[in-house]
Structure 1
């Protein structure tokens, strides 16, 4: 049987989990694939920009017939010195395309481009695999580097400076150190795929790689399907290494955890206790009253939606800065007054989007009332960024921040807790726990947009849609954000109800 045809992406998946190729071949329907167009778009844009970092270059277009790419690369390799992007090579059915290849008379330099702001461990597996392929073809690899985005010191001016946008880190030593590991991994992958058919699943167990937040495994639900529900992996806010420690010890179900003397953290104990014994809601009335007593009319219930551009689009911003593009605002001017709603949704392509967002919000909240949000770490931070970008708006942004009241506080501190919250204080868990039968507050029934990452993705990809699609998506964005602030209004009403 021939060897498995490996690309660098497949190789890196197999480093994460030895049986992932087997799952992709025999159980593809079990993958929880979440397509995010904006992430793909960000990666593509970063990759295209990086190609110009070293001047003129020759690009190898993608072709389903990989030999076409390999042959074109081979011809260009003979014309030294030059820069080749997507340079393609194959050694013993191990294929890779190098993002940027600096092809000198005395050897080559490999540059791997990442649309991230730091070097993640599995990036080193990626470049080590490329080094393995090229060096085994007899090519002298002088240097291996990773290009990644600089969101630390680079703030965009009027024009984008790609030389400042990218950090370059030499990882030649790390790539060399991993060469034996690469060979061993390839042998393991080939052995698994050759010796196991569709009825003979590899016995690889759950490990730390399954839980990598930067590189989540799409087969997690499949591989944990036989675990009791709920289980140790459902304990909210417990560190992953602790969850794995318990799992390896065989302490997996909530019953196991309840009888484990090592589980002493009050919030973990409480989540387990409420789940197993169906406890009544815990409500600290004095803590809720403290929140209510702090409120001053008019009440402004507000929520922002933000998106992140890998390549900063606006003057004064960084890579992946949270860019506010939308808000929803519910207002109660005085006690007993009717609920009013205002909103803002930026136009795609508006170069002054952030300023227009801020000016609209200032206009909609002219008085010093309580500005009610859910999660004080988010909106105030955006306001501070706006104040830094636009000094003439600083006083107004500081005024708004000075009036912030965070409704998350009693849920985060477990002053208000129910079994249905499942240990979480996310509004997506809190809301259905407080209002289990209210379809009006059900995010799953919204048209098109149901959560924050979907909202960001929808906005970032708007200009790729038809006018009819844009209209529909914008309506979905408005309804989603409106529910976020209506939810805080309902929580306010619930606070009043439970304290009466």
Structure 2
């Protein structure tokens, strides 16, 4: 019987769901990756490269990268040769094998006393539970090969780091020292290995989709597994908001129509009633009262932002949401609208020009956003970055009001299926405003469009097309808010009939 090789990533898959591991090995053809997978892989590689660069700089450039070409056997042989020769500089992707488990260690750094510091490099902002298991697997294999490891850590991104000078990234990483805190994980490795090996040697395991399909990773086989399930109810209990459906599912009730309304409260009760009746839950009078003091001129505002794990511009932090675009429509209250737009696609720091463009918006009246805490955070960071513009930006931030809670409290249509995102609400009010017709359809695609346009190889024609696509998308988001707001305060023709 063939014995399948294991790695720390395969063991992580097994720990998440045995079926995920089995499918990765035996049926990789049925995997479906989400749109952001490539960007996450790229960010991880960039972080790994930077960690190696910084380590080499501490050792006068003497670090050695272990290549796995033409095969991993080469990497194993190279690592063994380096250690046998008494190599006393960092080793990157050092490769070891024990009991059929192969690991590649991101960073091994000599401790100066004949031992090694081991670091598992992650693009996350803290050490997570599965990182601990990854590191324990590496330690288990490395120590079985006789490697004296005196220090073991998860090297993660430090969000307190601020880029002060271009190219100077010392301080980007922080170590979570787990050297003496992995006893339980180390003890669990042999059982984990045995379980994974038994799973791979058997037939495809059965698994009921659940929370494990999304944590710690979104499983690439989720659609495959769900396709094998018998059809569920048209309106499952999961449409009840704030996790209210989980209790009913646990009690064996899958259909929201089977839920007793008297046992529901708040929004869950509203959602249940609208779903069962098919009639929207709409409180126009309440919506009008909630928006009554939104003074004119009203500025409807939406940002698009880009976040780099490795800060790109002076004064920014890892993962900071930097605005490269906004659309604002100003209503004067007399039927007149004025469009304000800002968009930067040249790859330079967009913050100052964006802040100056925001300062050209009206100095009075309500500023309306959907989930306004995001817009407030963007504006407040710009105010902190540019003190000379802070008074105007702080006024803008102080005048922000939020359409989301007004919508949540005064509107629900069952086709929202438990969500009050603008893209869930809009089709229930204005189905003709279809995002599917746009080249850029959501925020993730907006970030991808920025990255493509800002890349050196982007042609002028393609950049112009991306410019138009981004303006159409951000403009639709703003118009969507206005359409939803108008519908909220208007009594619909079929209400009260």
Taking structure 1 as the reference length, the TM-score comes to 0.89
Question: Which 5+ residue runs of structure 2 have no aligned equivalent?
Answer: none
Within 5 Å, which residues of 2 pair with 1:142-181? 142-151=150-159, 153-159=160-166, 161-181=168-188
Aligned equivalents of 1:131, 1:266: Cα separation in 2: 50
Question: Is the Cα–Cα contact under 8 Å of residues 102 and 110 in structure 1 kept in the other structure?
Answer: yes
Q: Give the CA deviation at 1:385.
A: 0.9
- CA–CA distance in 2 between the matches of 1:234 and 1:216? 20
* CA positional deviation for 1:129: 1.3
User: CA 1:317–1:45 in 2, change beyond 3 Å: closer, same or farther?
Assistant: same
Distance change >3 Å, CA 136–CA 3, structure 1 → 2: farther
With over 3 angstroms needed to count, the CA separation of the structure-2 counterparts of 1:273 and 1:289, relative to structure 1, is closer
After superposition, the Cα gap between the structure-2 partners of 1:247 and 1:25, relative to the gap in structure 1 and judged at 3 Å, is farther
Hey, what does 2:220 align to over in structure 1? Answer: 218
Q: Partners in 2 of 1:63 and 1:463 — Cα distance? A: 33
Query: 2:420: which partner in 1?
Result: 425
Secondary structure of 1:79's match?
coil
> What do the CA deviations read for 1:235-272 (whole angstroms, capped 9, x no partner)?
33217xx72x544442323244x0498x5333223323
**CA 1:133–1:202 in structure 2 vs 1: closer, same or farther (change >3 Å)?**
same
Aligned ranges for residues 241-390 of structure 1 at < 5 Å? 243=246, 246-256=248-258, 258-259=259-260, 264-278=264-278, 280-337=279-336, 339-351=337-349, 353-363=350-360, 365-390=361-386
Q: 2:453 maps to which residue?
A: 462
Q: Counterparts of 1:377 and 1:479 in 2: how far apart (Å)?
A: 23
The 5 A counterparts of 1:235-246 are 235-238=240-243, 243=246, 246=248
Residue 207 of structure 2 is aligned to residue 204 of structure 1 = yes
| Residue of structure 1 aligned with 2:133, choices 98, 101, 125 | 125
Q: CA deviation at 1:85?
A: 0.9
2:76 — aligned with what? 70
Per-residue deviation at 1:292?
4.2
Aligned to 1:302, the other structure's residue is in SS state strand
- The count of residues paired between Structure 1 and Structure 2 equals 480
In the alignment, is the contact (CA less than 8 A) between 2:261 and 2:269 conserved in 1? no
- Runs (5+) with no aligned partner, structure 1: none
Task: Indicate the residue corresponding to 1:408 in structure 2.
Answer: 404
CA deviation string 1:316-372 (max 9, x = no partner):
2211111111111223334122x4433211133213x11111111222x14423322
Give the TM-score normalised by the residue count of structure 2. 0.89
C-alpha offsets along residues 138-164 of structure 1, whole Å, 9 cap, x if unaligned? 22222210111111x322213455332
**Does the Cα contact within 8 Å between 1:38 and 1:461 map onto a contact in 2?**
no
Report the Cα distance in structure 2 between the residues aligned to 1:359 and 1:86, rounded to whole angstroms. Answer: 46
1:186 match: secondary structure = helix
Shift of 1:232: 3.5
